[in-house]
Chain A
Amino acid sequence: MEELSFSDLPRIFFNMDVMEGQWSLLLSGMWVTLEIAVISIVLSTVLGLFVALIRIGEDKLLNVLLIAYLEFCRATPIVVALIVVYFGLPFLNVTFSPFASAVIVIVFVHAAYIGEAFRSGILAINNTQTEAARSLGMTKFQTLRYVIIPQAFKLVLPTLANQWTGIIKDTAICTILAITELLKAAQIISTWKANPTPLVMSTVMYLIILLPLTLTTMKLEKRRGSKN
């Protein structure tokens, strides 16, 4: 390769000629990424809340099962889980579409983490409040719904935002499946045009989605830190 000077960098990394006519593929990739992300965020948050509610329910067997589930998720890389679900299950005649595999794996893993976050949030709320609510004749469900969860949610928000960021980041791992999400789209164009600009552009798009979330998370973390 010939000597490169600093002035060559824009031609290599920000070559808009390369991008001509390719934006639509990149944008449709981004759309797929957002779809996976939003569906996974909603499902894993709901499931996580559910996991937390079961865990504070003090049923021994379910608790043991859910702890095993959590430890399993902590110790399994998402790549491995994705490959097992997408490439492995068809050996049992169970076939999920790449999109479904992505959502299933991401939700499964992140629900465990989100559940743990909610649980610690719920446990952080002192017991007198539960007693006070129950002494007013509120049911267990009403106590959770109106007293515990609103506070737990606020407490957990930084952790939750962090998990959501993690979910969006993990969608990029789905590039190993046969699905044209943002990163895959960029790779396709990059290979075809023999230029890294599409990859750089996809990185910028990821940043456009993720930077605001990261900044919010950091602000929330700081606020929580200063409160303690």
Chain B
Amino acid sequence: MTEQLSQNEPLLSVVDLVKNFDDLCVLKNITNEFHEGEVVSIMGPSGSGKSTFIRCLNHIEEPTSGKIYFDGIEVTNPKTDLDTVRRDMGMVFQNFGLFPHLTAIENIMLAPLKVKKQKKAEARNFALKLLERVGLSDKADSYPKQLSGGQQQRVAIARSLAMKPRVLLFDEPTSALDPEMVREVLDVMTSLAQEGMTMIVVSHEINFIREASSRVLVLVDGEVIEDGPSKEVIDNPSHPRTKEFLGKIL
């Protein structure tokens, strides 16, 4: 490990992560560390393995080999109880993944009630606070179908926050949204970042990356070709593939 000098242990660390789909090698020996309070963005061309990478972190995708440690626990160890680990790792999906048979507030309360066995009143109070935080107090009793894409995604974020996770994973949270709705979701994410939430975000939203995230990983063909402070990487990319890629999206 290179960062032995850092005072605190990394919250999440990845060692030699490999993921193959049949013969296709999607992730090639990725090693990295994520510290508490960090906001890390991951970008790269489509098919570069960013989504697979972030889905491996909470083991929704099973890595082919390599190790992942979360708060000292080896996630990749078959003996680890994943359900316990996942409680502390929230995830926000591209397609929201809200439960359509439940209202917004029920979506948020479900996991605290069933997984953490919280009291109903307690869960409800916290859910209302979270809805207020994402600016949707008035939508508590709406069903997902009655909400716009941006509102749905904000509920999904609130739902993840309800478990008080130590890290939030975002898998292209704005790419399924109409352009006018991207802003409202990014605002919520930015304010979370400012409050010190540890976040790992797969995204192409350059402004968000520059403003809110501290570090950027550029993933190309399953390898991290660049890893550095956001502003530096975006304004002064060193790797030619990064330049090429940024040129396309800017």
Contacts and interface: CB of A to CB of B under 8 A. Distances in A.
Interface of A: 126, 128-129, 131-139, 142, 146-147, 150-151, 154
Nearest to B100: A151
B83 A132 contact: no
Nearest to B169: A135
B156 interface: yes
B93 interface: yes
Interface residues of B, number: 29
B101 interface: yes
A170 to B, nearest CB: 32
B101 A154 contact: yes
Interface in B79-101: 82-91, 93, 95-101
7 contacts: A131-B91, A133-B111, A136-B159, A137-B115, A139-B83, A150-B101, A151-B101
Nearest to B115: A137
B58 interface: yes
B96 A128 contact: yes
A147 B163 CA distance: 17
Interface of B: 58, 60, 82-91, 93, 95-101, 110-111, 114-115, 156, 159-160, 163, 169
A138 B91 CA distance: 13
Nearest to A125: B100
B83 A138 contact: yes
Contacts of B88: 137
Contacts of B114: 138, 142, 146
A206 to B, nearest CB: 35
Given A128-B93, A142-B114, A135 B99 contact: no
